[in-house]
Each structure stands twice: as C-alpha cells, then as structure tokens.
Chains A and B, each alone.
Chain A
C-alpha cells in the first residue's frame, strides 16, 4: 500500500527497506554519522512546508529514521538538500543521486572524503527509496 511522501509511515517503510538490504549492511559497515535530508517546500506542487528527514545510521544499520522539521535535519553530520521535485526524481529513479550531487541538483554538506568512501552505501539507500510505493502530493 502506498504511503504519503515524506510522512512518518514513509520513514518507517524506508527504515525497513534499508534494514532488509544486505548490500547496505555490507557497504555501510563502519558508518557512524547522522544524515539529514532536507526536502524544500514547493507550494505549487502541494508540498507547502519544508521537511527534514533525520537518519541515525550506524555500521550498516538504520537505527532510526524520523521525519520532522528541516532545522532538525540541518543539524546532522551530513546534510543533503534539494527541493521536493528533485527528491521525487531520486525516489522514482529518474535522477541518480551521485549524478545529482555532481551536478549540484542535490546539495551536500559534510566531509566529502567520507561520503565518497561510502558511495556504494548511499547508492543503495537511494535504491531503497525507490522500492517504497509512494503517494505523491502533486499527483493527487
């Protein structure tokens, strides 16, 4: 059943997908930092307020994924920011997150060598988002 985009249900489904992934379990070994995703508002697309997704990832496991204020996500060790439409492109496999970062479509804040070292883990996390059936507010 589809869940509302960037809702608590979505966060739970995302966490479950990450923890089901053996690829992530291996590729994320050694990771010990929080990751915040900031989804910028796009009122024209029925996404009126920015949201923050705070991911507590540790050693190949998603310990917690929460949806809250953008300001919470901005406090994380690594922060990736993009407007709603870009995140939708990522979650629907239309935009590769690595390419998106190289093109500046997704803005990354945090220690670059660390994130590059975990490219495979971040790619797998992106794939996990694509496996969640989502109800998009601009498609209602």
Chain B
C-alpha cells in the first residue's frame, strides 16, 4: 500500500475514499503527499516530490494546496505513462496511471509537462502565456499537442494546479 510522508504536521491520516484503500502514513506525521501504490512510478515520485517541494517553500502555493479538492490526471504521451493527482484539501494522493472521476486530464509530451511546470505566475495568480514558455504552451494547445479534458468548466482548478505545479 501507499507510503511516504512529506511534511511533519499535526493531524490524522487521511482516509481512503471512493472504495480505495487508505494510504498509510509515516508515524508522527500528517502526510501532505502520499503515494497510493507500493511502488510509485518514477513519474509519480517526481511529480509528488516536485509538488511537495513547491508547497513547502511557498506560502501562496501552500494556501492553494490546502484549498484544492480535485482529481487531476496527467498522461505523458511520449513515454506512455501517467499519474492521477488526487488533491484532498491539504494533502495529495498520487496514483500511478489514470484513475476514474478526474476533473481534469492533461495529455501531452514530456517536454510540455516540463514547460507547464515552468509557467510563470502573473497578475491575479494567473499563468503567464505571453512569455517564451507560455507562448510555447499555448501553441501546443492550439496544435492539439497539449490536450486538457474538462478545461472549460474547471479553468479555476487548472489555474490553481498550475500555480502549485509551477517552479517559477
């Protein structure tokens, strides 16, 4: 079953939901990032680690992380691997592969995943799409090389996820 703590905090273990087994936590910590699988994929570990580090180092990202409740899938088309990020308002469970009931699913190549995490955040907490990285992401979207399922009804969620995900 799942493993891994992230940030030592007071509080209990988040329970599993939707019929899935509850991820286990390290003793004396309330995990912020948990892994649903015994052996998280390299991609799952990398995304979980990236989000963990971002949230730890930035109060604004931590606020976003604490408020976000959504299941987001990311599928990397050129390595044929994906993850589901299950944000549960203060903690995150990372699953290998795509799980059902996702609000948003991002499908793109590895380079664009890296670009998404390099998007700058501008005024009003909105991702910047007019600099070099942003234009590249927007162009991929127009070309259909970046597909975001569930985008229109969940644009606020996408912006929040982008802020948490961004290293800029």
Contact = CB atoms under 8 A, between A and B. Distances in A.
Nearest to A104: B42
Contacts of A98: 110-111, 114
Interface residues of A, number: 17
A114 to B, nearest CB: 8
Interface size class of B (residues with CB under 8 A): 20 to 34
B55 to A, nearest CB: 11
A99 B79 contact: yes
A103 B167 CA distance: 20
A113 B110 contact: no
Contacts of A116: 50, 114, 117-118, 167
B126 interface: no
B60 to A, nearest CB: 14
B46 interface: yes
Most buried by B among A98, A102, A107: A102
B81 A102 contact: yes
Interface in A94-140: 96, 98-99, 101-105, 107-108, 111-114, 116-117, 119
B110 A96 contact: yes
Interface in A38-95: none
A104 B43 CA distance: 7
B50 A99 contact: no
B110 A117 contact: no
Contact of A102 (B53, B113, B168): B113
B41 interface: yes
A105 B43 CA distance: 11
B43 A103 contact: yes
Interface of B: 41-43, 45-46, 49-50, 53-54, 57, 76, 78-79, 81, 110-111, 113-115, 117-118, 167-168
13 contacts: A98-B110, A99-B79, A102-B76, A102-B79, A102-B81, A103-B81, A104-B41, A104-B45, A107-B42, A113-B57, A116-B167, A117-B167, A119-B115
